[in-house]
Each structure stands twice: as C-alpha cells, then as structure tokens.
Amino acid sequence: MVPHSRPLTAILTACASVVACSGATTTPPPPKKAPAPEASVVFPETAVPAGRESTQCVVLRLGNEKPAHIGSIRNALGDGSHHLIVYRVADTVEQRTPFSCKPFADTLDPERGSPLMITQKKEDTLTLPPGVAFSIDANQMLRLEMHYINASPVPRIVTAKSTLVPISDDDFKDEASFLFIGNPDINIPPKSQAKLGPTFFVVPEELAGVKYFAMTGHEHELGTNVQVAAATSANDPGRMVYDVPNWSWSEPKTEVFSEPFTLPNGGGFRFTCTWNNTTDHTVRFGESANAEMCFFWAYYYPSQGARVCMHTARLNAPAGKDMCCPGDALCGFAKSLGSPK
C-alpha cells in the first residue's frame, strides 16, 4: 500500500520557508545610510538707514561634521532684502561682519565660489530631483550675498537664513549646477511700456543633453514679466517652459519641472522681458534696484560647472554676441556692465 502523500503545494511551501531545503542563504541588504542633519547659516541682523541701498556679504562655516549631498535648500529673507545668493566657497577664514561686495560679480569667477541658489522671495525652497544634489565638504564654508534696499522713511533691520538639507549618500547619483542667462541691452523711455526680446541664446556645447529641472525669472521693480521658451535651434520658436501667470518681480516663482527637459547641441533658450516704466527718466541695465535687469536662472544636472551667460549687441555686433563666463575673453566686459558710467 502506498503511503499517503503530502500535497505538492504544501511541500513547496515548507521548502521555501526552510533555508536548508535549497542550501541557499539570504543576506538582507545593508540599511541605507541616514542623511546628515540639516544645517543653517544666518546673515546677521543689520540696521539699514532710511533710503539706503547696498550689497553686503558674509562668509560663514556651515558646521557640518562630514561631507554631504544637499537635496534641498530653504531660504528666508527679512524685510528690505532684495535678493540673496548662497555660494559654496573654498575660503578658510570666516568673515562674520558684513562687508561690501559687488552684486552677482562672483558668479562669474569659479575661484570665488559656485552659486547654489538665488532667492528673491520671502520664503523660497529649492528641492532637487531624486538622486540629484549639491556636494559639500565637511565644515563647508558658505558666502551669503545680500542685496538690500530700505525705501521706507525709517530704519529697518535686514537679515536672511539659509538651511541646507542633505539626502542619504546612498541615494546620490548626479551633481547639480547653475546656469544664469540674460540680456543687458535695456533702454526703457520714461512713462512707457517696453519689451526686450525674444532673445535667443545658444547654450554652450558642453551643456547639450543636460537636464534642466527648475527655473526663475528676474527683473527689478518696473518688471512685469519674464518668459522663457526651450528651442532646439535659432529657427525654432520653442516650447514655453517659464510663463508664470500674474508673475511678480518681488516674489518671482521658481518653476520646478516634474519632467526635467534637455536641449540638443545648437539648442538654447528664447526669452522675453517686459517692463512698465512709471518714472520720469530713462531706465537702463544696472545692479541697483532703481535700474533694471532681464535675467533668468536655471538649475540642471549632471554638472558641467556653473555659468553666467548673456547676449548683447553692445559690442558693435548688430546681430548680437553670446558669451558665457567663466572662460570667455569678454568676461571682463560682463563684469563692468553694472558699474556706474
């Protein structure tokens, strides 16, 4: 007589639950490294007299014990703060007392640091795509560049805070970077509306194929809109990627793209700026909040280095001239654009 047999499914279930059945061992994956704690730096409270405009910087140690990969940055600006630029720098000595510095000038020189984020809103957060981050060293030094203006009749206190939030080292895949593009050929007659563009700028060859994941437009007080289209060539009208309804110069939205986009070799950005000049004088390009700008900045990965680029017809080039700094012979000209004439 044949003994009663256990059902085959019961045998397989029992076998799967007993390591010795197959002779195999299962090693659980190691736990993911915990992210480093977030860390902050603060631009010290600074008393600003009525009617004063200035740009000042501080150099501060972040205080992170180990190298980290930063997946998010939160900036908060106090009253009177026009914009804040956070740089990752190689300085070794802190400068905790605010000192005079030139707006945006150090974005042109990689030896002076690499921009991580620019903020013009009271509260602004940049969250990078999964696996994308800015890398920082242990005890990273940061420079905070604060452009402020007190248009009120009484003194004000300005301040700012930047908080860097790391991701797990195990999640890091790509280094992020920063691209700044504009047109300084601004000439707005008094009591008039004006438009500059669309200006087409071909991005450098080394940026072909990188992925753009966020963008912010920048003008000063007379600005009414910044629009940016991604174009595959100079003949392509492009696809609008930055066109914010009810855009505000004082609270410009950082558009974060759910699907980062690329540009081919020969592709670029087609951008337009508009203004409403309510003053009695002609307004031109300048760093002062009483002058105007036509810029946008984009965040991308994988990093090919930070760039500040512009298109201008000021160099006896009727069709205009494109330049990107660092690396262009005309970077000295770019640095002088906002200087008093």
- What pLDDT is attached to residue 337? 58
Domain limit, last residue, from 146, 174, 202: 174
The pair of structure tokens assigned to 10 is 């019961």
What is the CATH classification number for the domain harbouring 55?
Answer: 2.60.120.310
**How many whole angstroms separate alpha carbon 320 and alpha carbon 318?**
5
- What pLDDT is attached to residue 21? 46
Residues 191 and 325 in one domain: yes
Residues 170 and 246 in one domain: no
| 53 lies in some domain | yes
Residues 274 and 160 in one domain: no
| 158 lies in some domain | yes
**Vertex 111 angle, CA 105 and 114, to 5°:** 70
Residues 82 and 145 in one domain: yes
- What pLDDT is attached to residue 244? 96
Residues 167 and 196 in one domain: no
Give 61's strand partners: 141
Domain limit, last residue, from 120, 145, 174: 174
Residues 204 and 135 in one domain: no
Domain limit, last residue, from 130, 145, 174: 174
**The residue count for the chain:** 341
- Owning domain of residue 135: 39-174
- What pLDDT is attached to residue 340? 36
Residues 122 and 233 in one domain: no
Instruction: Find out whether 325 and 334 touch, Cβ atoms under 8 Å.
Output: yes
Of the candidates 251, 196, 205, the one whose C-alpha atom is nearest the C-alpha of residue 228 is: 196
- What pLDDT is attached to residue 2? 43
- What pLDDT is attached to residue 104? 67
Structural domains in the chain (count):
2
pLDDT tens-digit profile, the chain (341 residues): 444 445 545 544 444 444 444 555 678 777 888 898 999 999 999 888 888 888 999 999 999 999 999 999 999 998 767 789 999 999 999 999 999 987 766 665 666 778 899 988 889 999 999 999 999 999 999 999 998 888 788 888 889 999 999 999 999 999 999 999 999 999 999 999 999 999 999 999 999 999 999 999 999 999 999 999 999 999 999 999 999 999 999 889 999 999 999 999 999 999 999 999 999 999 999 887 788 999 999 999 999 998 889 898 876 666 678 888 877 766 766 556 544 33
Residues 67 and 202 in one domain: no
**How many whole angstroms separate alpha carbon 139 and alpha carbon 134?**
15
| 227 lies in some domain | yes
- What pLDDT is attached to residue 19? 43
Residues 59 and 189 in one domain: no
